[in-house]
Amino acid sequence: MILQKNFGIEKGGLETKQAIERLLKDEKYFERISKYFKIKITMKNRILNLAFLSILLLFSSNNSLFAYGTNDPKLNRETKFVDYQSTEMPLAEGVENDTVTTNSIVNIWNSNDAYNVKVALKDKDSEIDIAIYNMLGKEVLKVVQKGIQTTDEAIYEFNVSKLPNGVYLCVLIGRNFRDVEKFIISR
């Protein structure tokens, strides 16, 4: 009920998609939502936290939205959200996803040394960008090197000795795919 009264998100009211778009434009609306969820967010870092607030809005108890899609990348051209009345709302209008190859397999593991991480990519394309982000969304490591091409996979190795213990996201972007893997550094 509080979300319905304060933010105009209700059955037949302002749709969640519009509420999220309003987060970008209206400073007072943004402050009210961040205060409601007891999060200290300023307009300077709102883009970083916009995804977090969007998820809170989308999956709050008074707003029964869920995401759906097929596993076949050729059929799933865009992610859609469905509300309680099964009204489809495209997440991003006019944006088409690239065709993703389904035979891409990513493995991340430690080598013998605790500070070296290896990424093996089973793909025809051995040129990928690897970036490591902390949980605040800050890029902490960028890997710029060519992978060592073996029979059918490219192997990348990078050193994480300067990173403190914690949870990180490894973002891998290739010509035909994008993947995010979560890993933990614990020494």
Task: Render pLDDT for 137-180 as a digit per residue (tens, 0 to 9).
Answer: 899 988 766 655 555 667 777 777 788 888 888 887 777 777 77
Judge residue 132's burial from the number of C-beta atoms within 10 Å of its C-beta, 0-12 exposed, 13-18 middle, 19 or more buried.
buried
The winner for highest mean pLDDT among 12-16, 89-93, 110-114, 175-179 is 175-179
Closest CA to 165 of 119, 125, 115: 115
pTM: 0.40
Closest CA to 126 of 143, 145, 139: 145
Task: Render pLDDT for 82-100 as a digit per residue (tens, 0 to 9).
Answer: 333 333 344 444 545 443 3
pLDDT bracket for residue 39 (50, 70, 90): low
Mean pLDDT on 68-74: 40
Task: Render pLDDT for 124-139 as a digit per residue (tens, 0 to 9).
Answer: 555 678 888 988 889 9
Cβ atoms 136, 49 nearer than 8 A: no
Side-chain half-sphere of 27: how many Cα atoms within 13 Å? 4
Q: Is residue 56 scored above 60 in pLDDT? A: no
The winner for highest mean pLDDT among 37-41, 70-74, 106-110, 127-131 is 127-131
What is the longest distance spanned by two Cα atoms in the chain?
60
pLDDT of residue 148: 56
pLDDT of residue 141: 87
Cβ atoms 49, 41 nearer than 8 A: yes
Provide the mean pLDDT of the chain: 59
Locate the domains of the chain by residue range: 2-90, 105-185
Tokens standing for residue 106: 């990513």
CA 54 – CA 76 distance, rounded (Å): 22
- The partner residues of 66 in beta bridges, in order of sequence, read 82
93 contacts: CB under 8 Å, gap ≥ 6:
none
pLDDT of residue 48: 46
Q: Report the percent of the chain where pLDDT is more than 90.
A: 1
List the CATH code of the domain at 105-185.
2.60.40.3080
Q: Which helix (H) or strand (E) element contains residue 46? A: helix 46-58
- The partner residues of 154 in beta bridges, in order of sequence, read 121, 149
CA pseudo-torsion sign 41, 24, 53, 92: negative
